[in-house]
Amino acid sequence: MGALYFHIPFCKRLCGYCDFVHSVKSRFMPQTVVAMHEELDRESGFLRDRKIRTIYFGGGTPSLLHPSEIECFISHSSELFDCSEVEEITVEVNPDDITEQYAEALKNSSVNRVSMGVQSFDDKCLQFMGRRHSANDALRAIERLRGVGIENISIDIIFGVSGFGGQSLERTLQQAVETGVEHISAYHLTIEPQTRFGRMLQRGEIEQVSESVSEQEFDAVHQVFTAAGYEHYEVSNFAKEGYRSRHNSSYWTGAEYLGVGPGAHSYNGTVRRWCEQDVEQYVERVEYGSETLTALDALNEYVMVSLRRVEGIDLQYIAQRWGDSWAERIASRAERFVACGWLCRSGSRVAVPVDKFLISDSVIAELFE
Of 276, 255, 254, nearest to 265 by C-alpha is 276
- Using CB under 6 A as the binding rule, whether residue 1 contacts ligand SF4 is answered as no
d(CA 175, CA 358): 23
Closest residue to ligand SF4: CB criterion:
18
- Using CB under 6 A as the binding rule, whether residue 60 contacts ligand SF4 is answered as yes
Residue 105 burial (10 A CB sphere; 0-12, 13-18, 19+): middle
Contact positions with ligand SF4 (CB under 6 A) in 68-87 = none
Q: Which of 1, 20, 220, 300 binds ligand SF4 (CB under 6 A)?
A: 20
Number of residues that bind ligand SF4 (CB under 6 A): 11
d(CA 238, CA 218): 13
Among 10-18, 25-33, 292-300, 331-339, which window interacts with ligand SF4 (CB under 6 A)? 10-18
Is residue 142 a contact partner of residue 157, using CB atoms and an 8 Å limit? no
Among 14-22, 157-165, 226-234, 313-321, which window interacts with ligand SF4 (CB under 6 A)? 14-22
Using DSSP, how many helices (H) and how many strands (E) does the chain show?
14, 15
User: What minimum distance in Å lies between the beta carbon of 19 and ligand SF4?
Assistant: 8
- Using CB under 6 A as the binding rule, whether residue 117 contacts ligand SF4 is answered as yes
- Using CB under 6 A as the binding rule, whether residue 259 contacts ligand SF4 is answered as no
Q: Which of 59, 62, 261, 263 binds ligand SF4 (CB under 6 A)?
A: 59
Is residue 150 a contact partner of residue 89, using CB atoms and an 8 Å limit? no
- Closer of 98 and 315 to ligand SF4 (Cβ): 98
- Using CB under 6 A as the binding rule, whether residue 61 contacts ligand SF4 is answered as yes
User: What minimum distance in Å lies between the beta carbon of 147 and ligand SF4?
Assistant: 24
Of 79, 88, 41, 69, nearest to 260 by C-alpha is 41
User: What minimum distance in Å lies between the beta carbon of 172 and ligand SF4?
Assistant: 16
- Using CB under 6 A as the binding rule, whether residue 62 contacts ligand SF4 is answered as no
- Closer of 236 and 360 to ligand SF4 (Cβ): 236
DSSP state letters, 260-314? ESTT-EEE-SSEEEEE---HHHHHH---EEEEEPPHHHHHHHHHHHHTTBTT-EE
- Using CB under 6 A as the binding rule, whether residue 262 contacts ligand SF4 is answered as no
| Preceding omega of 130 cis (within 30 degrees of 0) | no
- Closer of 18 and 359 to ligand SF4 (Cβ): 18
**SS3 (DSSP) at 28:** helix
Q: Which of 3, 8, 15, 258 binds ligand SF4 (CB under 6 A)?
A: 15
d(CA 194, CA 250): 30
Cβ atoms within 10 Å of 75's Cβ, excluding its own? 10
- Using CB under 6 A as the binding rule, whether residue 176 contacts ligand SF4 is answered as no
Taking the CA atoms of the chain, what radius of gyration do you get in angstroms? 21
- Closer of 117 and 160 to ligand SF4 (Cβ): 117
- Using CB under 6 A as the binding rule, whether residue 22 contacts ligand SF4 is answered as yes
Residue ranges binding ligand SF4 (CB under 6 A): 11, 14-15, 18, 20, 22, 59-61, 94, 117
